[in-house]
Structure 1
Amino acid sequence: MSTDDIPTQERADWYHDIIANTVAPTRMAFTNPATFAARAGVLNLEKTGVSRFSLAALQAWRTPRLIRQNDPEHYILALITGGAMQVSQLRNDTLVRPGEAVLFNTFHPYNASTASEEGAAFILLHIPRAAAPLPVDRLDEVLARPFITRQGIGAILRQFLTSLESHAPACTPHDFRLLDKTVLDLASGFLAHRFDAWETLSHKTRNRVLLQRIDAFIDRRLNDPALTPQAVADHHHISLRTLYTLFEQHGEGIAATIRHRRLERCRTDLTRPELAAYPIHAVARRWGFTNPTVFSRAFRHTYGSTPQDFRRQARQPSNEPATALSPPQRQDTQKDAPSRNSRTRESSQA
């Protein structure tokens, strides 16, 4: 959904209605109503929901009167992806930038505004109060306080929510139920980590969150030949037996998981024309295979052909020069800014 097809004079009303229906009825002031533009996307899972917004500068208030009139009783975890937002609730006030998140709820008054005339972009995770992963009084302690999402479980949660936009259209209703459970587990682990309150989570939730963390750790270290089940267990401070038990529920053992993901990365690289000049053993070594014979045997067993035959079949003409073989790099950027204000509207009259 976007304002692109909405008449200019109706755009503020359109966005006002979108927020009332996806978040909660809210009072708004638009810095420049005549040029206001916004995009929005909404995905309802089962208990939770995810929405994405990018918008021009504005300020929004959730007032006591609006709360009395209509309250969905949701916690909202906002992950900032562009610009910056100023958020105030329960005497807390914070400026949230890209790579950070902030928690607020619909049942206490709040004030939220873009921090510059360029506007902002963010992803919202909607969690019903009844499904809140921690006691309400604990969550109230961190309303309108910044969370870092550039590393650890915060980064896993952010990547998971970001990927939903691309992959959700291909999901079935059964997939949505699984995604709902996963996102609630990740949010629970993320918030529990802030409080050092793992003991408040259920045993199943702790295990599912741990599996998500292990999965992300494996993906980051696939190029390391020293990535073994023992290394994974040591990094997460669990016994090898506990690790094996966790992966029994996963449907694939830990060693098989590591091997399969390495083979998939090698298989992808063998189809890349710009890497055609690189020896197969170099591609294998890039993803943690130190013994070419072991790699070739595992590849043939998994895909039914040797790496050489597979590359030959997949090869396409390319004049691109060979590029250096190095693991993909990730980086976060930050952007700062000042403030704004103007015209006011309210979703309900009383």
Structure 2
Amino acid sequence: MLHESVFRTTDLPVDARFEAWAERMSGTHAPMRLTSDRTADYRGHQRVIGLGDVTVWPATFDQLVFHRTPKLVRQSDPETYHLSLLLKGEGAADWGRQQAAYRINDFHINSSSQSWEVHTGSDPVTVVGIEVPRALVAVPGNRADQVLGSLISGREGIGALLAQFLLQLVADTSAHQPADAPRLGTVVADLVTALFAHAVDAGPQVPQETRGRTLTLQVKTFIRRHLGDPDLTPAGIAAAHHISRSYLYRLFQAEGLAVASYIRDQRLEHARRDLADPRLRALPIHAVAARRGFPRAAEFTRAFRTAYGLPPSEVREQSLTEGQGVRGA
């Protein structure tokens, strides 16, 4: 069996989980600054499989924003390419002038030698990550960097070959001996090289809708970060992203959503989580409502009951009672 290490945030105290996950992610790829709207009880699970100089790591984790800043690049650069095969959820990357959004079975690619920002969606994502030293990607000069920002599918061509190899590998490592690890790493590096070379030769194949999907994910992140602002409106959101309200509406309509409904649903869901958080049990319900953008308690109670079938007070009582039962078990 190949050697692998396993990390689960649920093995740690609740208040230590996000910090530990951030440290784990920085150690897996390169130093990063991580932010999330799920820091109160962060859920993440990662396996790290060493293949000589190459590392493969399947993982599932809550919403996250990865920031690889110019300062962090200057401070530490392991000179690796990172690829993530997206298996569940959604994600987008921003390199300043270049953006990319990813669908299921797409490869996201970045370099530890460049700054970037990666967003995942509000739901947990599942990926298979790869870390490959730049020196092992045998594409001449800086041409390999042209792949950054390209939309590379894992459903066809060389991308499908790499995806199938990765999925078979992570599904059952018992079929291999530790001595096989470097050879398997060479196979991964060769497939990545072929993938990069093909992408460079084919040229960028980024569909027109990519920028829109990327922007939608960024807008959703902005909304979740500003739920406490009672003046969070479509007009304000559009202005913050330098787009018109009509374009904002079209972005959300493409996903079957309405902007105002999305804001309301996110406020209610985050308020429900706050009510279930034992660390916030002393915070009055009207204060929970206000911190999530509901300045009028009666309005919050009506909307909450409509959404969840119970008033906020009963949801809090049930959640805290269940939590005490688990601790007492």
**Where on the TM-score scale, by shorter chain, does this alignment land: which range?**
0.5 to 0.7
CA drift at 1:8: 1.2
- Asked whether the 8 Å contact 2:93–2:117 carries over to 1, the reply is yes
Q: Return the match for 1:26 from 24, 32, 36.
A: 32
Match of 2:171 in 1: 166
* SS of match in other structure, 1:28: strand
CA drift at 1:123: 1.2
- Asked whether the 8 Å contact 1:29–1:342 carries over to 2, the reply is no
**Which residue identity is paired with 1:105?**
S
Structure 1 residues 10 and 128: CA distance shift in structure 2, 3 A: same
Q: What fraction of aligned residue pairs are identical, expressed as a percent?
A: 28
**Which residue identity is paired with 1:154?**
G
- Asked whether the 8 Å contact 1:87–1:110 carries over to 2, the reply is yes
Report the aligned-residue RMSD. Answer: 2.2
1:109 aligned onto 2:111:
no
- Asked whether the 8 Å contact 2:137–2:190 carries over to 1, the reply is no
1:152 aligned onto 2:157:
yes
Q: Return the match for 1:63 from 47, 66, 69.
A: 69
CA–CA distance in 1 between the matches of 2:116 and 2:74?
A: 14
Match of 1:72 in 2: 78
CA–CA distance in 2 between the matches of 1:134 and 1:69?
A: 26
**Which residue identity is paired with 2:138?**
P
* SS of match in other structure, 2:10: helix
Q: Deviation per CA, 1:153-179, whole angstroms, max 9, x where unpaired?
A: 211110111121232244223211221
- Asked whether the 8 Å contact 2:147–2:200 carries over to 1, the reply is no
Match of 2:60 in 1: 54
**Which residue identity is paired with 2:36?**
F
* Structure ranking higher on relative contact order (CA contacts 8 Å, 6+ apart): 1
Match of 2:189 in 1: 184
CA–CA distance in 1 between the matches of 2:42 and 2:225?
A: 12
Q: Return the match for 2:103 from 97, 109, 119.
A: 97
1:15 aligned onto 2:12:
no
Larger helix proportion, structure 1 or 2? 2
- Asked whether the 8 Å contact 2:105–2:154 carries over to 1, the reply is yes
CA drift at 1:195: 2.4
* SS of match in other structure, 2:142: helix
CA drift at 1:109: 0.5
Structure 1 residues 92 and 106: CA distance shift in structure 2, 3 A: same
- Asked whether the 8 Å contact 2:10–2:17 carries over to 1, the reply is no
Structure 1 residues 136 and 28: CA distance shift in structure 2, 3 A: farther
**Which residue identity is paired with 1:34?**
A
CA drift at 1:97: 1.2
Match of 1:255 in 2: none
CA drift at 1:342: 4.6
Match of 1:280 in 2: none
CA–CA distance in 1 between the matches of 2:90 and 2:110?
A: 16
CA–CA distance in 2 between the matches of 1:10 and 1:154?
A: 37
CA–CA distance in 2 between the matches of 1:72 and 1:111?
A: 18
* SS of match in other structure, 1:196: helix
CA drift at 1:94: 0.8
CA–CA distance in 1 between the matches of 2:116 and 2:40?
A: 26
CA–CA distance in 1 between the matches of 2:159 and 2:26?
A: 28
Q: Return the match for 2:145 from 122, 140, 146.
A: 140
CA drift at 1:88: 1.5
- Asked whether the 8 Å contact 1:103–1:143 carries over to 2, the reply is yes
CA–CA distance in 2 between the matches of 1:145 and 1:195?
A: 9
CA drift at 1:128: 0.5
Listed as ranges, the gaps of 5+ residues in structure 1 are 198-334, 344-350
Q: How many residues align?
A: 205
* SS of match in other structure, 1:71: coil
CA drift at 1:16: 0.6
- Asked whether the 8 Å contact 2:147–2:196 carries over to 1, the reply is no
Q: Deviation per CA, 1:282-338, whole angstroms, max 9, x where unpaired?
A: xxxxxxxxxxxxxxxxxxxxxxxxxxxxxxxxxxxxxxxxxxxxxxxxxxxxx9984
CA drift at 1:91: 2.2
- Asked whether the 8 Å contact 2:144–2:200 carries over to 1, the reply is no
Residues 4-13 or 170-179, more deviating? 170-179
- Asked whether the 8 Å contact 2:15–2:41 carries over to 1, the reply is no
